[in-house]
Amino acid sequence: MKASDIKSGLKLTFTIALLLVMSSCNDDDMKNVSAVSSKQITLSKDRTYGAEIIYSDSAKVKGKGYAPIYDKVVPSQGASYNEMPSGVKIEFFDEFLKTTGTIKSDYAINKETEKITIFRRNVIIVTDKITFTTEELTWDENKRMYFSPSGTVTTKDGNVLNGTEFSAPQDLSTYKIKDASGQGNVKGDLLQ
Give the start-to-end residue ranges of the domains of the chain. Answer: 3-38, 43-183
Mean pLDDT calculated for residue range 30-42: 52
- Closest Cα partner for 124 from 156, 93, 92, 102? 102
Query: How many angstroms separate the CA atoms of 90 and 104, rounded?
Result: 7
Cβ neighbours of 48 (radius 10 Å): 14
Runs of H (alpha helix) within 24-102 = 27-38
Query: How many angstroms separate the CA atoms of 34 and 8, rounded?
Result: 34
Q: Is the pLDDT of residue 17 over 60?
A: no
Mean pLDDT calculated for residue range 50-72: 88
43-183: what fold? lipopolysaccharide transport protein A fold (2.60.450)
Please name the amino acid found at residue 144: R
Tell me, what's the pLDDT at 13?
47
Q: Is the pLDDT of residue 39 over 60?
A: no
Give the range among 1-5, 50-54, 65-69 with minimum mean pLDDT: 1-5
Distances, alpha carbon 161 to alpha carbons 133, 156, 185, 186, in Å: 11, 12, 12, 14
3-state secondary structure of 52: strand
- 0.95 surpassed by pTM: no
* Mean pLDDT score across all residues of the chain: 80
Query: How many angstroms separate the CA atoms of 21 and 165, rounded?
Result: 49
The percentage of the chain sitting over the pLDDT mark of 70, rounded to a whole number, equals 74
